[in-house]
Amino acid sequence: MNERKPAKSGSKMQVSDVSPKQAALGRQIQDRIGQQLRAMYNDVMAQGIPDRFTELLKKLDQRDDEDKT
């Protein structure tokens, strides 16, 4: 499996490194990105939680309940 390597110190881009002209997106582009993100989010939410995940969550809750008593 591919592992992510931590970024090297000092390699992160700072907000001050980008001028406002470079960072600004037009209102139309922002609206389109927002529409696409909402559509993707709605698709993911409509899929629901797989049964396997639900079973795992129930087992974790049971373990937590047992640990508390």
Tens of pLDDT along 38-61? Answer: 999 999 999 988 999 999 999 999
Residue 29 lies in a domain: yes
Domain count, the chain: 1
Amino acid 66: pLDDT: 84
Residue 52 lies in a domain: yes
Residue 34 lies in a domain: yes
Residue 2 lies in a domain: no
> 14 or 32, which is more confident?
32
pLDDT at 6 over 60: no
Taking the C-alpha atoms of residue 66 and residue 4, their distance in angstroms, rounded to an integer, is 35
Residue 6 lies in a domain: no
Q: Tell me the pTM.
A: 0.43
- What are the structure tokens assigned to 47, written together? 């899929």
Taking the C-alpha atoms of residue 42 and residue 3, their distance in angstroms, rounded to an integer, is 29
pLDDT at 8 over 60: no
Range of the domain at 46: 25-68
Taking the C-alpha atoms of residue 32 and residue 25, their distance in angstroms, rounded to an integer, is 11
Residue 51 lies in a domain: yes
> 48 or 23, which is more confident?
48
